[in-house]
Amino acid sequence: MSFNRIYGLFLRHFFLIKSSLPRILDLIYWPTIQIILWGFISLFFSTYSNYYNNTLGVILTCAILYDFLFRSSISFNMLFLEEIWSRNFTNLFIAPMRISEIIISLVVTALIRTLIGLVPAILITSPLFGISILNLGIPLFFLFLSLYIFGITLGLFVSSGLLRYGPAFENIAWSSLFLLAPLGCIYYPIEILPDILQTMAKALPLVYIFEEARSILVNQYVDYTNIKNAFVLNIFYLFIGIVLFYYSFKQARKKGSLINIGE
């Protein structure tokens, strides 16, 4: 394991981001728009719904948490896609980089990309809507960590597909999270779902993460069982994601997709 190589790959993306204002604005734009949009939707609910006493806080907090998940997964995929788009993919794989170094470097860079996008969005919620996600307290750290691990895991699944099937897999990269969102029970409790979907949803860490966020905000009660369940599932999926990534690399070497992946 070489810090230099991990740092080298991080620099490759850092140089790209720092030299491009549109890229930085793009990172900030979507989370900000999401938060503003959901802020107004939440205001509507707080006026006309009595389901929650704290509708605005719950919806907005869940929106921020979901966006954190979305950004972390997309960031991971984007870093991989950048190599394909710039036709740099082969150069990367003929450099003496271990797969573990590639994964760690992408994980660190994706976190920085995600934070660049999300911190401004979190900061504007307080003056605009009087809501602070920090109200979740210490469990917020565990929720973010859990979401980040799941986002990275999804990134690993999608990148495995990109590695094996090339740019044809690109659309999956964009839509992967939208497919999971309904099952994630981000804005509503799991009981809303039909029985069969509830069984499927319970196999995802998202249900426990968002359940926990709502529990803290609505009942002011921290249930560490939810956090524990989310972590156990996260570790399981992360393990599968890493195995899949290694397997895809092996298959790509066998099928020849590393040679002409950018073409």
Partner 1 sequence: MQYPIVVKNLSKNYSNKAAVKNINFKINKNEILGLLGPNGCGKTTTIAMMLGLLKPTNGIVLIDGEDIEKKRIQLLHKMNFISPYIELPKKLTVKENLIVYGKLYGVKKVLLRIDYLSEKLRLTEFLDKKTGELSSGQKNRVSLAKALINDPKILFLDEPTASLDPETGDFVRTFIEKLSKEREMSILLASHNMDEVKRLCKNVLMMKDGLLIDQGTPNELIKKHGKINLEEVFLKLNRTSNEF
Interacting residue with partner 1 among 21, 47, 51, 96 (CB under 8 A): 96
Report d(CA 95, CA 91) in Å as an integer. Answer: 6
Report d(CA 2, CA 7) in Å as an integer. Answer: 9
Give the residue among 72, 82, 98 at the shortest CA–CA distance from 20.
82
Identify which of residues 206 and 258 has a Cβ nearer to partner 1 in the complex: 258
- Burial of 108 per CB tally in 10 Å (0-12, 13-18, 19+): middle
Q: How far is the CB of 172 from partner 1 (least distance, A)?
A: 24
97 makes contact with partner 1 (CB under 8 A):
yes
235 makes contact with partner 1 (CB under 8 A):
no
98 makes contact with partner 1 (CB under 8 A):
yes
**DSSP secondary-structure letter at 135?**
G
Report d(CA 69, CA 186) in Å as an integer. Answer: 11
Interacting residue with partner 1 among 21, 51, 179, 263 (CB under 8 A): 263
Interacting residue with partner 1 among 5, 54, 120, 190 (CB under 8 A): 5
Q: How far is the CB of 110 from partner 1 (least distance, A)?
A: 17
> Measuring CA to CA, how many Å separate 24 from each of 63, 73, 112?
21, 17, 12
Per rule CB under 8 A, count of chain residues that contact partner 1: 36
Which are the contacts of 71, defined by CB distance < 8 A and separation ≥ 6? 31, 113, 114, 117, 118, 151
Interacting residue with partner 1 among 87, 199, 203, 224 (CB under 8 A): 87
Listed ranges 68-76, 91-99, 158-166, 204-212: which one lies at the site for partner 1 (CB under 8 A): 91-99
94 makes contact with partner 1 (CB under 8 A):
yes
Report the interface residues with partner 1, using CB under 8 A. Answer: 2, 4-5, 7-9, 11-12, 15-16, 19-20, 82, 86-98, 250, 253-256, 258-260, 262-263
